[in-house]
Structure 1
């Protein structure tokens, strides 16, 4: 789930990602930011002792280059993504989902580091 986010965030930051043969359909920077924001906000709300570092999330937003004209689209993407993530949270269970979110966005994050803390 978060591999595509990683690739989109890396590309938006100008870093090298996986080879073209390894890449799944890449998310746009706006989609990647919506994924990261929805995941980390829900993690803070649903995972015990997990806190969102707003400054780090802002850094991801800046990297995604969200402009005012994209605000309505971003809001729709955030709502849609949050709905999907709540369903995944219910299906996977809190402990599993929270661990995955922390692995993706915690201090050693596989998607983005230090967005979540415990």
Structure 2
């Protein structure tokens, strides 16, 4: 009788644990594909992420009273910073990225879905 009780208790615990794990999986938010720790080259490679980044910095520059840089200057800057993440870039005063700005950029980037292999030429998740 004791063995049957032990087996029944173990089965109950297993069922409850499985239910709890399913709830935990449902409650856990999906990890965003892009963040302020993603390298700029990976953000530049995805047109949707690049558009979010461009719009973010355009608005930041506009708010700071800075004129938009010509395309040649933008390309040179992109080449220079492609190995950095926005968080690393924030270490440079010229980037105009404080903690509040990083948070806003992170929230904007988190909304960009993962690219498809055809959008970037690379396999999804290869950032």
Q: What TM-score results when the alignment is normalised by the length of structure 1?
A: 0.28
Under a length normalisation based on structure 2, what TM-score does the superposition of the two structures give?
Answer: 0.27
Work out which of the two has the higher radius of gyration on C-alpha atoms and give 1 or 2. Answer: 2
